Structure 1
Amino acid sequence: KRLILLFFPFLFCLAAAHAIAEPLDVSAQYPDPVGKSLTYLQESGDRLSLDQAMAAHAGGRFRASSRAVPRFGITAQPVWLRLQVQNRTGKLAARRLSLERTWLDVVDFYVVREDRLVQHWHTGDNLPFSQRPLKTRYFAFNHAYAPGLTTLYIRAETAEAMVLPLYFSTSEQFYSREMGSAHWYGILYGGLVVLLVYNLVLFFNLRSTRYLFYS
């Protein structure tokens, strides 16, 4: 029994250490969403400012994410994400951070160095496409990470399903991933066009309105 009692604190410490999100390394490649490298906080009242979100993290209110793609359901409260980027290269490293869901109403990206705001982007589906930092259907921005540790805060708000696949990559990797998605959309819409044309041909040849309705 004494061994069991002594073992529980060890498990607790191990779990606590595991819950700490490790910084992303600019020298590494992340082909999959980086949700397990972030912590998060859902707002429960008035909108939080960046300073309030930072204070909430200092107070231990952020929770470690256990999913590669965090999900919070439909009509969820706005969510703050926090992650860190480590640059050991000794020089600036340009990377792209992207939230790859098109229906997010409002998205704010904050770059923080030594507790000071360095850069802020405000975007989202509620804003004109021309106001996006990058002209892409996803919400993304580029940043040149200085040597050392950089902290990122992202606030997402939507009336739709709160699904947050966050990617950290180079611009080339981003476009390669987007092109792969475009190929699947091409197959989908190509199949729909084939069905449309096929039923129109049947309608003009057989004069049966059912095929027109199919089209």
Structure 2
Amino acid sequence: MKLYDYELSGNCWKVRYLLNALGQRFDRQPINFHPGREHKSAWFIEQVNPLGQIPVLEDGGFLLRDAQAILVYLASAYDPSGRWYPAGARARGEIQLWLAVAEDITRSASAARLHDGFGFAHIDLEAARRSARALFRQLDDHLAERQQQGQRWLVAGERSTIADLACFPYVALAPEGGIALDEWPALRRWVWDFRHQPEFIGMPGILAPGL
């Protein structure tokens, strides 16, 4: 497998995380997202992703774009235990709901981070932060209720799923976009729990515990 990857991208990190957790070997094809904008280059758009976005996974000639779609594919193809994408209509329906929330987090919290950390001046910063805070309140309310029931994760079960993985990085990186997590205690607890899983790997801005 080959992953078209950028070290500082939370969406790329999601895919690296799951590949590592599943014990899948893969080659990383670094893409100069910033400042090189290689994802918008002619060769990338023509040969890899016509939308000019990363990550993209290549598996045996099959090219798949979109971080959330890649998580579903990997969990379906390479996780016989069903831990990451458990079977059952209700569980999968709930997971799909949180994958959609993860997309909204990318459009808001990640956008604020791109503005502050990468100089994307065209982004409406206040609108991005406002949308992110609304999503974080939703997450915090859900997680607070789950934690009162003795549960730690977004979807019922003993272990995290791709729902948690999809939402995690741009929540954890939100302070880089000027969005502190102080007002959402259940959300902070969830970030702490996710970081302290045995398979956790870090990225710039999200260090593994003990580093």
- Of structures 1 and 2, the one with the larger relative CO (CA 8 A, separation 6+) is 1
Same fold (TM over 0.5): no
State the TM-score, normalized to the length of structure 1: 0.24
Kindly indicate which of the two structures has a greater share of residues assigned to helix: 2
Larger radius of gyration: 1
